[in-house]
Amino acid sequence: MRLGIRAKLIGSYALLLVLSIAVNLVGMWADRRVDESNRHVIEQTLPLSALVHKARSELQEKGSKLRSFIITSDEAHAMHFYNTDAKMAETVDAARIAFADDSSNEYLDELASRNTEYNAVADDIMMIDRKSVV
């Protein structure tokens, strides 16, 4: 059976149309899978990253309030330092709940240990500053 030019052209266009539809469907399926994977990664890592950022911000805020207390000897800065320390402890506790593995808990233990040492040094500095003002 011999096909004419018209039948060959229509057949080739139909074949291209079917192939284009198939490629687009595969692309849409792959796009959905990538979107689901991306959403999963964001939902799993974003809260943890937010907790780490929050703890770092609170630590930096504590340092800022300690410096402000040293410069001004205003007790409001000291109270803000201790309030921020309490918030940081809550953030570390929330991170302990969110982080399930041992390496994360080791990091959080190290952070809590350093924070305790930092608070002891800050208390000594505040005590010296209070004595020098009087």
Whether 98 contacts 51, CB under 8 Å: yes
pLDDT of residue 92: 87
Tens of pLDDT along 76-97? 999 999 999 999 999 888 888 8
Write down the mean pLDDT value for the chain.
87
Residue type (1 letter), 91:
T
Place of tokens 């059976």: 1
Whole-number Cα distances in Å, 107 to 52, 112, 125: 11, 9, 27
Q: Cβ neighbours of residue 61 under 8 Å, at least 6 residues apart?
A: 84
Predicted pLDDT of residue 134: 59
Residue tagged 């302990």 (tokens): 96
Query: What does the alpha-carbon distance between residue 61 and residue 86 come to, in Å, rounded to a whole number?
Result: 12
The pTM assigned to this predicted structure is 0.63
DSSP secondary structure, 41-83, as one string: HHHHHHHHHHHHHHHHHHHHHHHHHHHHHHHH--HHHHHHHHH
- Tens-of-pLDDT digits for all 134 residues of the chain? 688 889 889 999 999 999 999 999 999 999 999 988 888 877 777 777 788 888 889 989 999 999 999 899 889 999 999 999 999 999 888 888 887 777 778 888 888 888 999 999 999 999 998 888 65
Query: Do 119 and 78 meet the contact criterion of CB atoms below 8 Å apart?
Result: no
Helices and strands, counts by H and E, the chain: 3, 0
